């Protein structure tokens, strides 16, 4: 039995819609698409046997309960757990990690230690920070090389106070796998191993017994399942020692006015009504994945990932971009950053790719300490799934080859002697932009305007930050008589160009004049209406809203 990516992709209805005919979806580390069987299973639950589970005698409730427990068994088999009761349903990996951190910490003492890495997703960092502050625990971090944790250094961190080691099985930002199976034999007897497998479950067969972990978490939407449902595996003896996290219905065996007795695992950790339709969808996703030749599927993804990295490496020879990742031992993630001499930022590149209907992701990917350690504010992440193919990679490379890179021009700063930081935009002609014959040429005109926005390092602080932008943007305001003046700084060429346009429309005007300008209509007339859409408004509208906010 082999793996056929074309046949696999045909199971995903999103790609069959006319508006997605040219879509190249390369944002799979954020969330995968759903096959028809998952959608059908969720619809089937709501249309045929929607009811709450457990403690009800009618047939719909029995059917719903049977489904939930059947999927629990499927999940146990999927992870090679020893028993069905070792699987707990959560809203996702984030909730599972919050559950574990809060429950495990209740059994720890001040001074006990938790070992993490700087590469962790915030979901496997922030909850541990919270309990460390709450219970006076110590966080320790594995040394890394270029962001990758060095497991051979782990023994140097361990002692009798080490009670938890919590690590991701693969980085969501850089894609590297770690050898989870090496970890448990190194740990003290009283130390619990927590594994975030969110980025492994779609790509590898995961065996919790082979990994010998005490706990493991994952989110269904990372492996073709629904959002809002996740898995928490816990070794039976570890779960038995774990106090409940949340209180409510179904997680108790007896309640009096003064106290409660809690049910055994897994129900002790499933307070309230679960997302039952999502559990039905999870069951369908597990069946769907298990029906594939997982070994052949992994081989296909590995070859595609090698091709992706080979093509991106070729591009780095001619374009001012740098590749942070390697295909070796990688789950299908490539991360790019711009070199200092580049005239564009990664958010500009993502915008350009979106213009070509190529979906990628830009930012620190909820791994900000990792990005900080690499000296980067963020990266452009390309992430593969089994329905991607070489045509998708070729479309990405072709679009990147046509990026409108220009040499970076940095004019002298206009901040001498404490004078106002305004820019000279007298050369800007709106007609010049409106007369461009295509959006590609309008895009290039915007990036040319970006050179007119002078650098203003003195305003780059948290007080002046414009929140809500994908890129980092700073703005200051000054009222001169009855006129309002603005100054903006950002590294994004597209946001620089849009900022120039906003300044031409709104800068050095009275409040009445500013309010009378129909910015939306102007953008439509200039052929820039795409920058008014919800998907793009996080940058432009945040700038506009902050400008208008200064008028009140």
Active-site amino acid positions: 366
Question: Per DSSP, which regions of 107-229 are E strands?
Answer: 113-117, 138-142, 144-145, 148-149, 162-168, 192-196, 215-219
220, 31 contact by CB (below 8 A): no
Spatial CA neighbour of 384 closest among 309, 294, 459, 461:
309
Paired tokens of 53 = 């589970």
DSSP 8-class letter at 381: E
Do residues 206 and 222 lie in contact, with contact meaning Cβ atoms separated by under 8 Å?
no
Which residues are registered as beta bridge partners of 37? none
Helix (H, G, I), strand (E, B) or coil at 262: strand
For residue 5, the surrounding DSSP H or E stretch is: helix 5-9
Count of beta carbons in the 10 Å neighbourhood of residue 531: 20
CA 168/CA 370 separation, integer angstroms: 13
Q: How far apart are CA 201 and CA 331, in angstroms?
A: 10
Whole-angstrom distance between the N-terminal and C-terminal Cα of the chain?
67
Q: What phi-psi label fits residue 228: left (phi over 0), alpha (psi between -120 and 50 degrees) or beta?
A: left
36-48 helix and 276-290 helix, angle to the nearest 10 degrees: 140
> In sequence order, what are the beta bridge partners of 480?
483
Using omega within 30 degrees of 0 as the cis cutoff, is the peptide bond preceding 373 cis?
A: no
Q: Where does 203-347 show beta strands of DSSP type E?
A: 215-219, 230-234, 252-255, 260-262, 321-323, 333-338
Longest dimension (CA), the chain: 80
Instruction: Quickly tell me which residue has 């932008």 as its tokens.
Output: 469
CA distance 352 to 444: 11
Is 217 within 8 Å of 97 (Cβ atoms)?
Answer: yes
């Amino acid at each position: 039995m082999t793996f056929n990516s074309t046949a696999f992709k045909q199971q995903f209805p999103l790609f069959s819609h006319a508006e997605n005919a040219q879509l190249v979806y390369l944002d799979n580390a954020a969330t995968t698409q759903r096959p028809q069987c998952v959608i059908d299973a969720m619809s089937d639950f709501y249309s045929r046997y929607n009811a709450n589970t457990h403690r009800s005698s009618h047939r719909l409730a029995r059917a719903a309960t049977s489904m939930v427990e059947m999927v629990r068994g499927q999940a146990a088999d999927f992870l090679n757990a020893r028993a069905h009761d070792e699987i707990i349903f959560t809203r996702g990996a984030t909730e599972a990690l919050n559950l574990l951190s809060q429950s495990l910490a209740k059994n720890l003492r001040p001074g006990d230690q938790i070992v993490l890495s700087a590469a962790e997703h915030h979901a496997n960092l922030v909850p541990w920070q919270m309990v460390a502050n709450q219970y006076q625990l110590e966080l320790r971090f594995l040394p890394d090389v270029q962001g990758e944790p060095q497991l051979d250094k782990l023994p140097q961190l361990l002692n009798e106070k080490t009670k938890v080691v919590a690590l991701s099985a693969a980085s969501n930002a850089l894609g590297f796998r770690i050898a989870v199976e090496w970890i448990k034999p190194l740990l003290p007897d009283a130390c619990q191993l927590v594994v975030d497998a969110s980025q492994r479950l779609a790509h590898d067969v995961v065996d919790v017994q082979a990994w010998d972990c005490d706990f493991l978490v994952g989110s269904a939407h990372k492996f073709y399942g629904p959002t809002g449902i996740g898995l928490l595996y816990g070794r039976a003896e570890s779960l038995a020692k774990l106090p409940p996290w949340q209180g409510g219905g179904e997680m108790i065996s007896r309640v009096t006015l003064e106290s409660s007795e809690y049910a055994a695992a897994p129900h002790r950790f499933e307070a309230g009504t679960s997302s039952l339709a999502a559990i039905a969808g999870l069951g369908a996703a597990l069946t769907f994945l298990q029906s594939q030749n997982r070994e052949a599927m992994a081989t296909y993804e590995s070859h595609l990932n090698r091709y992706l990295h080979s093509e991106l490496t070729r591009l780095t020879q001619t374009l001012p971009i740098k590749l942070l990742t390697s295909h070796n031992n990688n789950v299908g993630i490539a991360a790019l950053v711009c070199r200092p001499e580049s005239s564009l930022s990664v958010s500009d590149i993502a915008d350009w790719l979106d213009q070509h209907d190529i979906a990628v992701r830009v930012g620190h990917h909820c791994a900000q300490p990792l990005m900080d350690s690499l000296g980067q504010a963020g990266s452009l992440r390309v992430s593969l799934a089994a329905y991607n193919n070489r045509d998708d990679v070729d479309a990405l490379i072709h679009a990147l080859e046509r990026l409108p890179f220009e040499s970076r021009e940095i004019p002298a700063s206009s901040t001498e002697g404490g004078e106002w930081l305004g820019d000279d935009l007298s050369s800007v002609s709106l007609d010049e932009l409106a007369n461009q014959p295509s959006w590609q040429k309008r895009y290039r005109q915007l990036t040319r305007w970006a050179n007119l926005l002078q650098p203003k390092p003195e305003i780059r602080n948290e007080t002046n930050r414009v929140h809500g932008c994908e890129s980092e943007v700073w703005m200051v305001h000054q009222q001169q008589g009855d006129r309002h003046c603005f100054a903006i700084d950002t590294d994004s060429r597209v946001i620089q160009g849009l900022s120039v346009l906003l300044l031409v429309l709104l800068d050095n005007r009275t409040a009445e004049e500013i309010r009378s300008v129909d910015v939306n209509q102007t953008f439509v007339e200039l052929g820039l209406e795409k920058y008014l859409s919800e998907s793009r408004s996080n940058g432009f509208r945040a700038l506009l809203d902050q400008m208008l906010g200064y008028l009140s």
